[in-house]
Structure 1
Amino acid sequence: DILSPFRLHNTATPREKRAVRTLSALFMSSKDRPSLGGTRIKTRKRNITAPLDPAAFSDAVVQIYLDNAGDLELVAKSIESSELDFSRYGDTFFEVVFTGGRTQPGTTKPDEGERHPYSIIDCEPKREAILPSVIYIQKILRRRPFLIKNLENVMRRFLQSLELFEDNERKKLAIFTALAFSQKLSGLPPETVFHPLLKDNLVAKGIVLPFITDFFKEYLVDNSLDDLIAILKRGKVEDNLLDFFPSSKRTAEAFSEHFTQEGLLQLVQYNEKKIFESKLSEMKSALTSQISDQADVAEVIET
Structure 2
Amino acid sequence: MSSKEKPTLGGTRIKTRKRNIAAPLDPAAFSDAVVQIYLDNAGDLELVAKSIESSDLNFSRYGDIFFEVVFTGGRTQPGTIKPEEGERHPHSVFDCEPKREDILPSVVYIQKILRRKPFLIKNLENVMGRFLQSLELFEEDERKKLAIFTALAFSQRLSGLPPETVFEPLLKDNLVAKGLVLSFITDFFKEYLVENSLDNLISILKRGKMEDNLMDFFPPTKRSAESFAEHFTKAGLTALVEYNGKNIFEVKLKEIKTVLTSQISEGTDVDEVIEMVKQQIKDAKLPDIEIVRVLWDVLMDAVQWSGKNQQQNANSVLRQVKTWAPLLNTFCTSGKLQLELIYKVQMQCYEDAKLMKLFPEVVRSLYEHDVLAEDTILHWFRKGTNPKGRQAFVKGLEPFVNWLEEAEEEEE
Q: TM-score range, shorter-chain basis?
A: 0.7 to 0.9
Between the two structures, name the one with larger relative contact order (CA 8 Å, sep ≥ 6): 1
Match of 1:193? 166
What is the aligned length? Answer: 276
Matched residues in 2 for 1:192 and 1:280: separation? 32
Match of 2:253? 280
Among 211, 222, 231, which residue is 2:195 paired with? 222
User: Are 1:246 and 2:213 an aligned pair?
Assistant: no
1:261 CA drift (Å):
0.6
CA RMSD for the aligned pairs?
Answer: 1.9
1:119-268 counterparts in 2 under 5 A? 119-268=92-241
Match of 1:75? 48
**Partner-residue secondary structure (3-state), 2:193:** helix
Which amino acid is the alignment partner of residue 258 of structure 2?
S
CA offsets, 1:82-128, max 9 Å, x none?
11110001000000000000000011000000000000001000000
CA offsets, 1:35-62, max 9 Å, x none?
357x632123221111111100000000
Matched residues in 2 for 1:134 and 1:146: separation? 17
1:283-294 counterparts in 2 under 5 A? 283-294=256-267
**Partner-residue secondary structure (3-state), 1:222:** coil
Q: 1:288 to 1:42 in 2, by over 3 A?
A: same
Match of 2:29? 56
**Structure 1 spans left out of the alignment, 5+ residues:** 1-9, 22-33
Between Structure 1 and Structure 2, which shows a larger proportion of helix residues? 2
Aligned 8 A contact 2:124 2:160 in 1: no
Which amino acid is the alignment partner of residue 240 of structure 1?
N
Matched residues in 2 for 1:104 and 1:113: separation? 11
User: Are 1:97 and 2:70 an aligned pair?
Assistant: yes
Q: 1:36 to 1:256 in 2, by over 3 A?
A: farther
Task: Give the TM-score of the pair, scaled to structure 2.
Answer: 0.64
**Partner-residue secondary structure (3-state), 2:146:** helix
Match of 2:268? 295
Aligned 8 A contact 2:205 2:211 in 1: yes
1:201 CA drift (Å):
0.8
1:226 CA drift (Å):
1.0
Aligned 8 A contact 2:31 2:66 in 1: yes
Matched residues in 2 for 1:164 and 1:280: separation? 42
Identity %: 80
Which amino acid is the alignment partner of residue 93 of structure 1?
F
Matched residues in 2 for 1:181 and 1:83: separation? 30
Residues 121-130 or 291-300, more deviating: 291-300
Matched residues in 2 for 1:230 and 1:144: separation? 28
1:296 CA drift (Å):
2.5
The structure 1 segments of at least 4 consecutive aligned residues displaced by more than 3 Å after TM superposition are 34-37
Matched residues in 2 for 1:132 and 1:204: separation? 33
Matched residues in 1 for 2:53 and 2:260: separation? 65
Match of 1:27? none
CA offsets, 1:70-92, max 9 Å, x none?
11001111111111110001000
1:142 CA drift (Å):
0.2
**Structure 2 spans left out of the alignment, 5+ residues:** 278-412
Task: Give the TM-score of the pair, scaled to structure 1.
Answer: 0.87
1:295 CA drift (Å):
2.3
CA offsets, 1:11-56, max 9 Å, x none?
9xx9xxx9xx9xxxxxxxxxxxx6357x632123221111111100
**Partner-residue secondary structure (3-state), 2:92:** coil
Which amino acid is the alignment partner of residue 109 of structure 2?
Y
